Amino acid sequence: MSDDNKQPGSDGNGPTGGGNPWMKSLLIWVGVLVTLALFVTMIDGRTSAAGGTTIPYSSFLDKVDEGTVKDVNISRDLISGTMTNGDKFRSYPIQDATLVPKLRSKGITIAAKPEEGPSMWMVLLYNSLPFLLMLGLAFFVIRQMQKSSGSGAMGFGKSRAKMLTQKEGKVTFDDVAGIDEAREELTEIVEFLKDPTKFARLGGKIPKGALLVGSPGTGKTLLARAIAGEAGVPFFTISGSDFVEMFVGVGASRVRDMFEQAKKSAPCIVFIDEIDAVGRHRGAGLGNGNDEREQTLNQLLVEMDGFEANEGIIIVAATNRPDVLDPALLRPGRFDRQVVVPRPDIEGRIKILEVHMKKVPLAPDVDARVIARGTPGFSGADLANLVNEAALMGARKGKRLVAMAEFEEAKDKVMMGAERRSMVMTEDEKRMTAYHEAGHAIVALHEPASDPIHKATIIPRGRALGMVMRLPERDSYSYHRDKMYANLAVSMGGRVAEEIIFGYDKVSSGASGDIQYATGLARDMVTKWGMSDKVGPVEYAQPEGESFLGYSSSQPVRMSNATAQLIDDEIKGIVEGGLSRAKHVLTENVDQLHLLAGALLDYETLSGDEIKKLIAGEDLGRPDPSAPKSSVPRAGTSIPKTRRPAGPFGNPAPAGA
């Protein structure tokens, strides 16, 4: 915003501004010290007024006898005078009746100072100064406590809205990427503020409010800051929780004060973040009609669209819970527009990554599209965190440029957790993990509907001992039946590989996550998407309702025992079908399974292209490991085509049997 748009108090020097807190504290302490110094000076003023050298009374009498005293000034508490050589002196008297005759006999001029009591103002000052000091100290302490609590003694009901200035960093629509539709709707509001006659010419009215709805981290607050940077009008920002207090009526008072400030600065924008903190549905079962939250919401509704027209004030609010907002808050005339801020698609993720990568020195091999493909479902905040993690990893390694390897490592860390290289695993556990991940990868290679493999690794991360990452070519908004069956087969590939290589009794618990995923997918296929011929296109899934005090507001699905049994049988059949497909693929390609598992044991991590080269018998372009880590064939070597003896369930026995 330009300086021309600043209102009184917006720069911190006016009545509503905070000023410089350090300067205020310094001035207060200087005032206290000056007052103390004045008090000490006043107490000591009577003593220092006489001046001269203080001498004992006996010395004073000796000088009188010597005739070196010229004149004296006698008061009740002090004797002062001048010597014949011009020096001044002073002494404290005692009860001596012979003093005056002795002075007269020596011819010394005698003067008497009348006793003057302190004036009424001095007495009042002496008596009241300690109380004033105590009162000032108490006021200072209370003021500091009120500042720390965010409200003043007489301003408990004042608004806490802050005016956003360029000091906080100007953000424009150029800094907002990946949410083009939301940006376009808000751009129109900015244009209206800049040139209202353009729309008023055809009878259009400026929207009174815009509600930004989206998941956490999608950029709602960033959009609001961009509006402030583009509009060039005063921009007030406040959180919904700032209205809520334990005292009834305080929130409503703050709402009124906020709109009073906004009226003085109109046209302006007021941004309320997390409005669900104050705008929840009234009468939800807690409290009564005098509840503080409801009073605050009622006042907000009246201010937004009541008898008093607040022209030129646009309310922009943000929430990730639009379902809990009161219907009266969402009607036209209050929030005329609900702008959905979704999670970005692949093109949006590319733009967001490019925005954040401008601040990072990049190596030539960094490809934003590859990173975007590997981050489906990431929000703008997640992508910003990924770029930051990559920069931190590059700095930790002492690099001058952030390469693709750092971005891949950062992506794995964000999605799966940090590497656990210190985790102690036996050779058998490593072989089991290698064959498990190789089973996933081989099934994915031979399933046409599966997404391409991006990477396979046996490095433990988080709770996973290894993983096979697949990257979709593009974002998918609906899934087809063939891809679901392919995903089921891929998820079962790890368990099947363990059974084929190590036998029925050696199957581990490492497939628990795979089984959970497969069961959930099969359940959705049967109960939500109508992909079971026996159950039919009927929805039996439990509705997802809001939980209130631990109880779901949705009614449970009613079904007969026979239907429930049929659903369970169909889910089991679909999962077992994926298991059979995976078993068929791995039985037919067991040589590739051995080859890929050996390469994973040697190199720990292989890219999708390296896996394809390995299966095709091509050179990986990597140096061979200095020492063999397993008893399985090395990468790139041929496997003898001899038939192995049958293992459990007719499957080939483990290598070397």
SS (H, E, C) 206-220: CCCEEEEECCCCCCH
324 and 281 in contact (C-beta within 8 Å)?
yes
Q: Residue 383 region, left (φ>0) first, then alpha (ψ -120 to 50), else beta? A: alpha
Residue 215 annotated as lining a ligand binding site:
yes
| Distance (Å, whole) CA 510 – CA 526 | 26
Residues sharing a CB contact under 8 Å with residue 453, sequence separation 6 or more, in sequence order: 441, 444, 445, 468, 469, 470, 471, 608, 611
| Distance (Å, whole) CA 218 – CA 233 | 25
Residue 381: name the closest of 205, 588, 179 by CA.
179
270 and 238 in contact (C-beta within 8 Å)?
yes
List phi, psi (to 5°) of 483: -70, -35
Residue 440 annotated as lining a ligand binding site:
yes
| Distance (Å, whole) CA 440 – CA 488 | 11
| Distance (Å, whole) CA 356 – CA 383 | 8
| Distance (Å, whole) CA 370 – CA 357 | 14
Q: Residue 300 region, left (φ>0) first, then alpha (ψ -120 to 50), else beta? A: alpha
Number of Cβ within 10 Å of residue 150's Cβ equals 9
| Distance (Å, whole) CA 59 – CA 57 | 5
Residue 221 annotated as lining a ligand binding site:
yes
Type of residue numbered 145: M
Place of tokens 């733009």: 351
Residue 218 annotated as lining a ligand binding site:
yes
Residue 514 annotated as lining a ligand binding site:
yes
Q: Write out the H or E segment, with its range, that includes residue 527.
A: helix 512-527
Query: What does the DSSP 8-state code read for residue 11?
Result: T
Residues serving a catalytic function are 437
Known binding positions: 214-221, 436, 440, 514
Which residues line the annotated binding site for ATP? 214-221
* Residue list, annotated binding site for Zn(2+): 436, 440, 514
